[in-house]
Amino acid sequence: MPIKKTNIYGWKGLSLSSRGLSLGIIPDVGGRIISLKYKGEELFYVDKDLMGLVFDLGCIDFIALKKKLGFLLWGGDKTWVAPEKEWQLNIPPLDLDAGKYEATVGQGKIILTSPICRETGLRIIREVSLEHDGKVFLNQVFVNCSEQPITKGIWNVTQVLKPCDCFLAAAQKDVRSYHLEDKSLPSNEIIPVYSRGWSKIPCRDNTLFKFGAKSNVGLVAVSRKSKFGYACLIKSFPVFPAREYPHDSTVEVFNSDCHNYFEIETHSPLITIPAGKSISHSQKWEIKDFYSKNELLKFIYGKNN
């Protein structure tokens, strides 16, 4: 698949295209997939105030810089380190989230390699490919570059533009609202609707909420109305229900109250990585469009049956 150098929202980027789907990747800001377009329509959120910005993180007083920059909402798809409670200053590790990744291109694949994180001792490698059939493959690797074992989980976060409906392949009893665990979240009246193996969560307005689920099936579907009818993004990923997970969830959905995005968040189990060793977690994306809502729902419900 041809890979092109291009400008993406003001950043130097790389693009991949196939079957109406286009990926935009920016190595200089956390190795993000910053753009996902389907038939010309952008599906990902991008913070307009940060477009094109790149920060020099090579300062001596690193923590002071982190405090000054704060929690930056770049947008797109990125890899975080779980659990969140271990972040310094309650902000994602800066070298991994906003640092410059080295990009290697070859055989239709882009390999993005982070600097060694000064906060965690980890290096992140993100491998992205787009097949001729329009399927996207993302492999995420943590490398322990420290001299001690590190226990962490791989946390993938994708910020998608609203309005959408998000479907989790999880029983209703396995989906929980985080407002009972996180007092910064308000109690909400949104109740996931369960049908035929899926719990549907509407992400259509600025109601603040977060749900998590520990599912036996690694599937998430996002449906949205488009100029062609309805588009559906399906993410599939491995799950290990018997293992311990960060946040006790294989998948999470967060809906922002002040920005036009919601997050699909997928997790690997918590794993102890020996010094010099690595772990990985992969996922596959596919997008399809439908003329009617009935066709869309038939497709979604058929994926988990």
- Contacts of residue 217, defined as CB under 8 A and 6 or more positions apart, other chains included, come to 169, 170, 197, 239, 304
Q: Is the pLDDT of residue 60 over 80?
A: no
CA distance 260 to 277: 39
CATH of residue 261's domain is: 2.70.98.10
> Rounded CA gap, 113 and 284, in Å?
20
> What is the number of H-type helices and E-type strands within the chain?
3, 22
What's the pLDDT band for 247 if we cut at 50, 70, 90? very high
Residue 67's pLDDT is what? 93
pLDDT over 90 at 183, yes or no: no
Q: Which of 51-60, 109-118, 156-165, 266-275 has the lowest mean pLDDT?
A: 51-60
Residues in a beta bridge with 202: 165
- Lowest-pLDDT range, 128-142, 225-239, 291-305? 291-305
Give the Cα separation of 229 and 232 in Å (integer): 10
Question: What is the pLDDT averaged over residues 150-156?
Answer: 98
State the pTM of this model. 0.96
3-state helix, strand, coil in the chain (%, to 5): 15, 45, 40
Residue whose token pair is 């492999």 = 139
Region for 69 from its dihedrals, namely left if φ exceeds 0, alpha if ψ lies in -120 to 50, beta otherwise: alpha
Q: What is the pLDDT of residue 304?
A: 76
Give how many domains the chain has, as a whole number: 1
Identity of residue 232:
C
pLDDT of residue 231: 94
Would you call 204 helix, strand, or coil by DSSP? coil
* Per-residue confidence (pLDDT) for residue 190, from 0 to 100: 85
40: which 2 tokens? 């010309």
pLDDT of residue 227: 87
Residue 61 confidence (pLDDT)? 85
pLDDT tens sequence across 250-270: 999 999 999 999 999 999 999
Across the chain, mean pLDDT equals 95
Q: What angle do CA 242, 246, 252 make, to 5 degrees?
A: 95
One-letter amino acid identity for 34? I
pLDDT at 191 over 90: no
Alpha-carbon gap, residue 75 to 61, rounded angstroms: 26
Domain that residue 122 falls in = 3-302
Alpha helices by DSSP H, listed for the chain, are: 62-69, 94-98, 293-302
